[in-house]
């Protein structure tokens, strides 16, 4: 059982926007702006998409954006494309230099 | 360009100790603000953070696995080694190592992100 709660699945049609939530507590997501998001295609290693809640690494499409409100962080993908279909994981600092991952969300592009 | 690659046994027996090596290039683990972490993923399941070692040899472990884990580094060889004792079939997973950028928060070292990741190595625990 993961410390951070994500919906098991979300779906959207090409061109639409979707949002994936990541709910923690006041001890992790709510206390630190240290949430990151990872994309994982089947059989591949995870890839960093967002760090420190809303920062985008070089080379990541600006269709990916992150935000946070209270104990919940969110990843939004706009202009959905077929290649966005993947699993997405959030990760948060949880104090005492420890980290937690979410349970993962499977994104299906219809 | 930063690259990392995990190596180690693909099969271990229950109660044995697992030793995995992460060999990296493109950065030095003696540079301030740099770390290497280990993360695992059981088949079909979520990612789980295991351990992190910093440039100054400080180490952090997942609280739930702390008693079984040891992380070390060999800066001259550009390697990080993770050992996990008393392996069990539930430890069957793909084990990843990843480069981490570190910042200070209230005097604590914290990981800003894991990027990039190694390709992962599948470890099966079975008799």
- pLDDT attached to residue B108: 87
| Structure confidence by residue, pLDDT tens digits, B61-105 | 999 999 999 999 999 999 999 999 999 999 999 999 999 999 998
Backbone angles phi, psi at A70, to 5 degrees: 60, -125
Residues B26-55 have pLDDT tens digits of 999 999 999 999 999 999 999 999 999 999
| Residue from A6, A37, A44, A46 to probe the interface with B (highest B Cβ count within 10 Å) | A46
Q: pLDDT value at position B106?
A: 84
**Assigned token pair, B56:** 């100054």
User: Residue A2 above 80 pLDDT?
Assistant: no
Count chain A–chain B contacts defined by CB atoms under 8 A. 71
- Contact between A23 and A29 under an 8 Å Cβ cutoff? The reply is yes
In this structure, are strands B93-105 and B121-125 parallel, antiparallel, or unpaired? antiparallel
Q: CA of A96: how far to CAs of B58, B100, B126, in Å?
A: 13, 16, 34
Question: What average pLDDT does the structure give for chain A?
Answer: 96
* Predicted pLDDT of residue B107: 84
B105 vs B45: CA distance, rounded Å: 31
Residues in chain A: 110
pLDDT higher than 80, residue A29: yes
Taking residues B3-8, report their average pLDDT: 98
Alpha helices in A1-110 (DSSP H): none
Q: Which of B54, B46, B24 is nearest to A91 (CA)?
A: B46
What pLDDT does residue A3 have? 85
Does A34 sit within 8 Å of B110, measured CB to CB? yes
* Rounded-to-integer distance, Cα B19 and Cα B24, Å: 16
Q: In which element (H, E) is residue A24 found? A: none
The reported pLDDT for the residue numbered B93 is: 98
- Residues in B touching A57 (Cβ below 8 Å): 113, 115
Is the distance from CB of A69 to CB of A82 less than 8 angstroms? no
Say yes or no: A51 contacts chain B, CB-CB below 8 A.
yes
Does residue B48 belong to the interface with chain A, where contact is any CB pair within 8 Å? yes
Does residue B91 contact residue B69 with C-beta atoms inside 8 Å? no
Question: Does any CB of chain B come closer than 8 Å to the CB of residue A32?
Answer: yes
**Interface residue A103 vs chain B (CB under 8 A):** yes
For the stretch B96-123, pLDDT in tens is: 999 999 999 888 889 999 999 999 999 9
List, in sequence order, every beta strand (DSSP E) within chain A: 9-12, 18-23, 35-40, 47-50, 64-69, 72-77, 86-93, 99-101, 105-109
- At B38 the pLDDT is 98
Contact (CB<8Å) A101/B47: yes
Stretch A70-93: mean pLDDT = 98
Distance CA A55, CA A35 (A): 10
pLDDT, one tens digit per residue, over B11-26 is 999 999 999 999 999 9
pLDDT tier, A96 (very low <50, low <70, confident <90, very high otherwise)? confident
How distant, in Å, are the alpha carbons of A44, B14, B126 from that of B41?
A: 12, 18, 17
Give the mutation candidate from B35, B108, B110, B119 for the A interface (greatest A CB count, under 10 A). B110
SS3 B76: helix
């Amino acid at each position: 059982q993961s410390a951070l709660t994500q919906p098991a699945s979300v779906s959207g049609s090409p061109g639409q926007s979707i949002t994936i939530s990541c709910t923690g507590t006041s001890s992790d997501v709510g206390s630190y702006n240290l949430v990151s998001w990872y994309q994982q295609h089947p059989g591949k290693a995870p890839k960093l998409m967002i760090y420190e809640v809303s920062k985008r690494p070089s080379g990541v499409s600006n269709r990916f954006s992150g935000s946070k409100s209270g104990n919940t962080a969110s990843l939004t993908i706009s202009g959905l494309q077929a290649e966005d279909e993947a699993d997405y994981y959030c990760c948060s600092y949880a104090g005492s230099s420890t980290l937690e991952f979410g349970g993962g969300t499977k994104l299906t592009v219809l | 360009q930063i690259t990392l690659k995990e190596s180690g046994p693909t099969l271990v027996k229950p109660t044995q100790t697992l030793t995995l090596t992460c060999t990296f290039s493109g950065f030095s683990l003696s540079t301030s603000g740099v770390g290497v972490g280990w993360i695992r993923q059981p088949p079909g399941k979520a990612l789980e953070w295991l351990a992190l070692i910093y440039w100054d040899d400080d180490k952090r472990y997942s609280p739930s696995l702390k008693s079984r884990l040891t992380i070390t580094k060999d800066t001259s060889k550009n390697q990080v080694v993770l050992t996990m004792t008393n392996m069990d079939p539930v430890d069957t997973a793909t084990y990843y190592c990843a480069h981490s950028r570190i910042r200070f928060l209230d005097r604590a070292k914290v990981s800003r992100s894991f990027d990039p990741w190694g390709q992962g190595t599948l470890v099966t625990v079975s008799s």
